[in-house]
Structure 1
Amino acid sequence: MESATTALPSLLYNESSESCAAVETATEDTLFGCFYILVFVLALNGNSLALWIFSHQRGASSPANVFLIHLAVADLSYVIILPLRATYHLTGGHWPFGEVPCRVAGFLFYVNMYASLYFLACVAGDRYLAVVHAVRSLKVRRARYAHVISFSLWALVTVSMAPLLLTHQTTDVDGTTVCLQLYREKASRSALISLAVAFTPPFLATLSCYLLIIHSLNGGSRLEPALKLRALRTIGLVMLIYVVCFLPYHVSRATFILGYNHPGVSCQTRRGLGLANRLTSSLTCLNGALDPLVYLFGAEKFRGTLTRLFCKDKAGVSGATSGELKGTHESSVSAKSEF
């Protein structure tokens, strides 16, 4: 993944382009700092509440819930370092925390982003099986299998990002301490391969699964119209997270790597590329604030548990739960429990 190339202890800007390096203005720093604080508050509360609700759900956990739990853990692992990013901006682009926090901040940034991408893809795959192959997939869609897949993904992402914890990541620029993982990653051409490997497979898998689900819903699906609409809204929300949070960053990084150090690129263009890199990097953390909406609008049992815990409407929840359990072997009800 990208960290293997971005973890090198050299600045993104070489001597010929140092004078063109984009420097954040006071206004930009204030806006970025406030943005990270706002996302921190929303994501911390949303994902903490989600984990609490998942832990209070009754009965056997579904594969989708297992993936969503791991997604919430991934979000929280990144949320905890957002105050460090906010401090970086609010102190005028200075990193006051030292070497180790810089390494951890970069490590958690990439771990969260790529773990989130793959867990969202796993959710899409599970829902594809639940809707399109409801009966035939019953033996495969087991919570224990979902846990095995999840922990395997954690191991893969953690090992891929480990170089960030082992290499030097801070340097002094004009008397200011800079954390290289904050918008100053090394622009290596080989990083394009890492970008493609890390982003393209989960994105295409998620897109393909949801297109097949939409085709099934618009075809011979036995889902009620209201449930079809709910499913389509959930699909739209997940794809919105990809388009807003992840796609701009990877497109911007690819453009940045290809264009920043090109001999014919002007200083103005380099500064524009630098600003785009900072903006799209900040957008990636929005997924931590948006993912709880996937739990809320996309999981029937999640809403039921939320209602039971906060509204004490046990009768309504009991009815909804019974409705789900009765149709375990029917595709329409199986899809309902997933959406």
Structure 2
Amino acid sequence: MAPPASNSTDGGALNGGRCIVNDQMGPFTVLYTFVFIISVPGNLLSVWTFIRSRRAKQRSLSVYLLNLLLSDLLLLLALPFKILKDGGAAPWSLMVFHCQASAVTIYISLYASIAFLAFIIVDCYLQDCTSLRSMRLQEVGFSWLLSLVVWLLLLLIMVPNMALPIHPVQEQHYLSCSSLKKDIGLHWHAMTVILCSALFLNASIAVLLSSGLALRKLLGSRREPQLWADSRRAAGSVAAVALAYMVSFVPYHVVRAPYTLTQTRVITDCGTRRQLFLGKEATLLLSVLHLCFDPLIFFYLHKPFREALCNTLPSCRGRGTGEEEEEADGGKGKDAEEEGHQSTL
């Protein structure tokens, strides 16, 4: 074990001239563990419910929700490695494995969730917009193709971070993953951050546009009771998912760019590096929280999921197919029947 770190004059922790940024991970380890324990039952229940409802006619929304669940499961598999490393319970080989593989898997899952949440929000808006229902975004085949493109793009960007060679580093208690990377690895990592930030910006634009248009449609239908009811449901769905999206991912990306400058050694002041690292960990924890709330999104937005769950739970039985669905689907009339959007609210 490395000797204890000492405080330097600039507010950073130094150990033999090396800046230690990750020596305060105890609270984060507890919180990550809590999030993991809370999210496992909900996501396993989601998997089981999706399996139970697999015979339901597939819609574009169900494709995006299923891929969102896949990204959540990927994050659940990688999160224990981060918890062990940050808690100091991992052996050296497992710490290196986390830096090379499981940490990258966390970011693959993170950006997959960003993309699919954006698709879900756009799809919810399109379902209430009769003039745009013919768009290919809502075709099941195109939805699967778009999902495949997202996964392949993320793998193409992220996997080199796993494969590029690393420095042989002496065993140490506080391992910083960036210290393992050679120059080519640091450059690729910086490019990865830029490309993923571009993905986030494009997804955020789609989220903001869909939210704004849904609100505009809601305000424009105030004088027509039936249109108001339909628009209110659509705007509520869009607003709920958009709020979760913004709270989870915007703070992280505010901190991500300056933190990357510490990893690429542009920012070298130890105190600044420590503050940015703690900011990155706090906002990353906020991003991981979506694991706990995604099962609620599945239940709220996906009618076959709701029916399968309610038919299983005695306290809920009968709710998924009763007056709630009739009210939700009643305003759609023949248009909703013809377009096949009865799988949503």
Same fold per superposition (TM over 0.5) = yes
Match of 1:35 among 31, 34, 38: 31
The residue aligned with 2:202 is 201
Residue 256 and residue 165 in structure 1: after superposition, are their counterparts in 2 closer, same or farther (change >3 A)?
closer
Equivalent in the alignment of 1:162: 159
- What aligned pairs does 1:90-105 form with structure 2 within 5 A after superposition? 90-91=87-88, 95-97=92-94, 99-105=96-102
Q: 2:242 aligns with which of 235, 239, 247?
A: 239
CA distance in 1, matches of 2:156, 2:65: 22
- How far apart are residue 181 of structure 1 and its match? 6.5
Return the alpha-carbon distance in structure 2 between the equivalents of residues 161 and 269 of structure 1.
Answer: 27
User: Structure 1, residues 164-216: CA drift from partner, whole Å, max 9, x if none?
Assistant: 22124576367337361799994876566324323111111122112212211
CA change 1:93–1:100 in 2 (3 A) is closer
Structure 1 Cα separation of the partners of residues 262 and 114 of structure 2: 26
Gap change, CA 1:172 and 1:290, over 3 Å in 2? farther
Distance in 2 separating the partners of 1:182 and 1:213: 46
Q: Distance in 2 between matches of 1:23 and 1:139?
A: 46
The 1:18/1:79 distance shift into structure 2, 3 A limit, reads: farther
Measure, in 1, the Cα distance between the counterparts of 2:160 and 2:20.
25
Tell me which residue corresponds to 1:60: 57
Describe the shift of the 1:277–1:128 C-alpha distance in structure 2 as closer, same or farther (beyond 3 A): same
Instruction: Work out whether 1:270 is the aligned partner of 2:273.
Output: yes
Please list every run of 5 or more consecutive structure 2 residues that lacks an aligned counterpart in the other structure. Answer: 1-13
The change in CA–CA distance for 1:308 and 1:110 in structure 2 (over 3 A counts) is: same
1:24 counterpart letter in structure 2: D
Aligned residues: 320
Partner of 1:22: 21
- Percent identical pairs in the alignment equals 24
* Structure with larger RCO (C-alpha < 8 A, sep 6+): 1
Q: Given that residues 39 and 286 in structure 1 are in contact (C-alpha distance below 8 angstroms), is that contact kept between their aligned partners in structure 2?
A: yes
Q: CA deviation at 1:271?
A: 2.0
CA 1:208/1:94 → structure 2, altered by over 3 Å: closer, same or farther?
A: farther
Q: What amino acid is the match of 1:86?
A: I
Name the counterpart of 1:51: 47
Shift of 1:276: 0.9
Aligned counterpart, 1:317: 321
| Matching residue within 243, 252, 257 for 1:254 | 257
Taking structure 1 as reference, are residues 147 and 70 closer, same or farther at Cα in structure 2, changes over 3 Å only? same
- CA, structure 1 residues 48+222, in 2 after alignment: closer, same or farther (shift >3 Å)? farther
Which region of structure 1 is more displaced relative to structure 2, 235-244 or 224-233? 224-233
Whether the 8 Å contact between 1:125 and 1:206 is mirrored in structure 2 is yes
Q: Secondary structure at the match of 1:338?
A: coil
1:327 matched residue in structure 2: 333
Change (3 A) 1:191 1:118: closer
* 1:145 to 2:148 alignment: no
The equivalent of 1:302 in structure 2 is 305
Structure 1, unmatched stretches of 5+, are 1-14
Give the match for residue 8 of structure 2.
Answer: none
CA shift, 1:320, in A, is 5.9
Distance in 2, Cα, partners of 1:267 & 1:329: 61
Partner secondary structure for residue 321 of structure 2: helix
Counterpart for residue 125 of structure 1: 122
1:225-280 CA-to-partner distances (Å, cap 9, x unmatched) read 666555444333322332232111211011223578557x7543332112112222
Decide which moves more: 109-118 or 84-93. 84-93
Q: 2:136 touches 2:142 (CA, 8 Å); kept in 1? A: no
SS at match of 1:24: coil
**Is 1:116 aligned with 2:119?**
no
The answer to whether the Cα contact below 8 Å between 1:115 and 1:154 also exists between their aligned partners in 2 is yes
Residues 108-129 of structure 1 show CA distances to partners (whole Å, capped at 9, x for unaligned) of 1121011111111111222222
Change (3 A) 1:181 1:66: farther
Gap change, CA 1:140 and 1:231, over 3 Å in 2? closer
Q: Which amino acid aligns with 1:41?
A: I
For the aligned residue pairs, the C-alpha RMSD in angstroms reads 3.8
Whether 2:75 is the aligned partner of 1:78: answer: yes
Residues 3-22 of structure 1: pairs in structure 2 closer than 5 A = 19-22=18-21
SS in 2 for 1:146: helix
Amino acid at match of 2:296: L
Contact 1:71 1:115 in 2 (8 A): yes
- For residues 53-106 of structure 1, the C-alpha deviation after alignment (integer angstroms, 9 at most, x for no partner) is 222225312110110011001110011111111111221787551544542202
Q: Distance in 2 between matches of 1:307 and 1:182?
A: 50
CA-CA distance at 1:37 after TM superposition? 1.5
